[in-house]
Structure 1
Amino acid sequence: MALDEFIGQSPVSCRERDVDRYGRTVADCMVRGEDVELWLVRSGHAFAYRRYSSDYIGAEQEARNNHRGIWAGHAQPPWEWRKDHRGGL
């Protein structure tokens, strides 16, 4: 919902950066000149995925310090959750 409100009716432009090991496109996306991924992390709607990039670590720390979005409570990154529950799935 928050992303939908952020984008609204504005066009989104994406530039392919890479292709992952599953054949999926990895891209940078912009709306009104703003980096969508950066907005998501800074707003507390997404994690900085440190395994592949350090680009958004500062934005995540800012969201965490200000208790935005997922950081308003306890948040566990999905990769940690999967590691903790690997045997039970």
Structure 2
Amino acid sequence: MKYIIGIVVILAIVLVTVTIGANNDQMITFNYIVAKNELRLSTLVAILFGFGLILGWLITGFFYLKLRVKNIALNHRVKRQAKQIDELTLPKA
């Protein structure tokens, strides 16, 4: 299932890139804080799309790792509490 989703994502990215590149060949001046650069519109859109994709994956990965760490901590807590309950409920010989 993971491989199918990965293939679909890669195909979507390729499709978007080809569509953007085919239709936007106009030159524009892109001003950013430090300098200015002249790029084709398709290149600028592709760069911004890629940056957004990478940023989205990083943010998602951060929250995923945060949840995994919390899940591991909670599982340890449940095991410890289950052990304490067993110690309290078992009759002593």
Taking structure 2 as the reference length, what is the TM-score of the superposition?
A: 0.24
Q: Which has the higher strand share?
A: 1
